[in-house]
Amino acid sequence: MGAQALGMGSAFSAATSDVTAGFWNPAGLTGISGKQAAFMHAETFGSLLNHDYMAFAMPLGSSGTRFGGISLTRLGGGGVKITEWDLNTNRPRIIREESHADYQLIFSYALNQKENLSFGANAKFIYRDIPTSSAYGLGADIGMKYAPSDFLTAAVVVKDFTTTLLSYDTGTKESINPTLTMGFMLHRQFGNWEAMLTADSDFRFENLRDAAEFWMGSISADTHWGAQIGYKNMLFARGGIDIGRMALGGGVKILPFQIDFAYLKYNDLDDSFRVSALFFWK
């Protein structure tokens, strides 16, 4: 979620520190200092899918150690052709076109355990609307960020750690298995300039083999690499590698707004473009 993350190759588990942390790593919500809202629209794989997102987060209480957030995501498109067999021509024929969409509602909570250690958790509610059926699901994520120095931050996230179960109105059930993400961020300030290098690896245990970037037995891994250069915390240039695909992006921050844009190259399913906006207020 968010064009900043996509422009950095989706290597964002350790770098996330704004309202979008509810998706990347809920522990990152401890980086906000006031109320924040985010909005995003993306044309994913050309015009095949529309990816829309909105979120809100804020500190809870006056202690500055507890944070909460809520986000809603829609991923969907149209043009699904429903067919039936034509007995006259002995061939299938299109009888109508329908749309499809997945909705995800996330409630996030984060706790600043120490100055350099934070934890977070998500409760997720999923609704899937596809031609001829629909499904509901529940899931949860947990995350951690640890910064042993101003230069280094490490992160661990387990998405769907309880195994998210989707239940269809047809009686079919589908499981979303846990994904372990481990990442780090290297960060340095040089006067008015700021540099950031990030890396993430998503580990799955589903015997994906050739469907993943790397695999050994039933364990697979997909990698993400990113970089950002900022000037006066106002102008940003970004680049990255998202599972072997080139990503580029940029942004401008003039309080109370931040606008980001990103581009992801994808040869097989056309390229993706993303624009997102952040709003800050006390």
pTM recorded for the entire structure: 0.84
- Eight-class DSSP state of 4: H
pLDDT in tens, the chain (282 residues): 888 998 999 999 999 999 999 999 999 999 998 899 999 887 766 567 788 899 999 999 877 789 999 999 998 877 777 788 888 888 888 877 777 889 999 999 999 988 889 999 999 999 998 878 899 999 999 999 999 988 999 999 999 998 988 999 888 999 989 999 999 999 999 999 999 999 999 999 888 887 888 888 889 999 999 999 999 999 999 999 998 889 999 999 998 999 999 988 877 667 778 889 999 987
Q: Look at residues 230, 264, 149, 184 and name the one whose alpha carbon lies nearest to residue 12.
A: 184
- What pLDDT, on the 0 to 100 scale, is given for residue 138? 92
Q: Is 148 helix (H, G, I), strand (E, B) or coil?
A: coil
The sign of the torsion formed by the CA atoms of 228, 230, 233, 236 equals negative
- What pLDDT, on the 0 to 100 scale, is given for residue 46? 56
Number of neighbouring beta carbons within 10 Å of residue 29: 32
Its CATH architecture, for the domain 3-281, is Beta Barrel (2.40)
Question: Does residue 256 have a cis peptide bond before it, meaning omega lies within 30 degrees of 0?
Answer: yes
Q: Could you tell me if residue 115 is left (phi over 0), alpha (psi between -120 and 50 degrees) or otherwise beta?
A: alpha
Question: CA 27, CA 144: separation in Å to the nearest integer?
Answer: 5
Domain extent listing, the chain: 3-281
Backbone angles phi, psi at 26, to 5 degrees: -55, -25
